[in-house]
Every structure is written in C-alpha cells, then in structure tokens.
Amino acid sequence: DRFNGNDVEDIVLANFEVLPDNTIRANLSRDNHLRIIEALWNHHPPALYPQVQCPVLIMPARQKSDWTAAERDERRAKSLAVAEKLLATSQIKWMEDSIHDVPIQRPELVAGTILEEIDAGFFG
C-alpha cells in the first residue's frame, strides 16, 4: 500500500485537536457524537432505496478469519439481500480481509474495485 503509518496517523488525528500539552481533544463534542449515533440508529436506509436511480456499488468489509463475526455476517447478509432487492441497479463486491474503514486500510483495493466496475460499464 502507498499509505504509510504516518499517513494513517494524520488521517486519524484529523478528528482531534492537539493541545499545547500534547494531549488531544475530539473535534466532535460528546453531545454531537451521541446525536449522530442516535440518528444512525433511527435511520432506515431501505425506505430510501427505491428512490435511488443510479447504479450502486456496495463494498462491504469482511474478515474471514474473524470467528466471532457469524451473527454479524448473518445480519449483514440479510441487509444486503434487501438492498439488492430494493435498489434498481446494484452490485456487491466484498472487501475481503478488511476492517470497517477500508478506504483508510486498503485505498488501492477500493480504487481498483471502482475502476474495474467503471471499465466493465457498471456505472453506464
């Protein structure tokens, strides 16, 4: 990967203010963070899927070696099946052996996958 540890550190630290004593403080207040979590919890994306008219490339992360993920994978499979059913045009490309923040962990994989789908004509 072309990103090194310093790049990732810079990306993560962009979420914080480094104080004069070299401690950090989150840019996002706890109250706002909790509001975002509540909004995500109450949000129901499938209700919006039928309105989406452009092709959607879904790139979920998956770690095959994570033996604790069976229940999460089952829920994810159900969510993806709903998305495939309700989105006019969609395709799923698994980001294998990846964590949640795939663009940070494996930017070349994300970019390469998108370019492959552009070349294949998926986006029109």
What is the pTM (predicted TM-score) of this model? Answer: 0.78
At residue 64, the pLDDT reads: 76
Of the CA atoms within 13 Å of residue 52, those in its CB half-sphere come to: 17
CA-to-CA distance for 2 and 61, rounded, in angstroms? Answer: 20
3-state secondary structure of 96: strand
Q: What is the pLDDT of residue 55?
A: 98
Of 70 and 19, the structure prediction assigns the larger pLDDT to 19
- pLDDT tens, residue by residue, 47-96: 999 999 999 999 999 887 776 777 888 888 999 999 999 999 999 999 99
Domain boundaries, the chain: 1-43, 46-124
Of the pLDDT bands very low, low, confident and very high (cuts 50, 70, 90), residue 4 is low
Q: Which residue has the higher pLDDT, 9 or 96?
A: 96
Query: In whole angstroms, what separates CA 82 from the centre of its chain?
Result: 18
pLDDT of 2: 54
Average pLDDT over residues 108-122: 96
Q: Is the pLDDT of residue 32 over 60?
A: yes
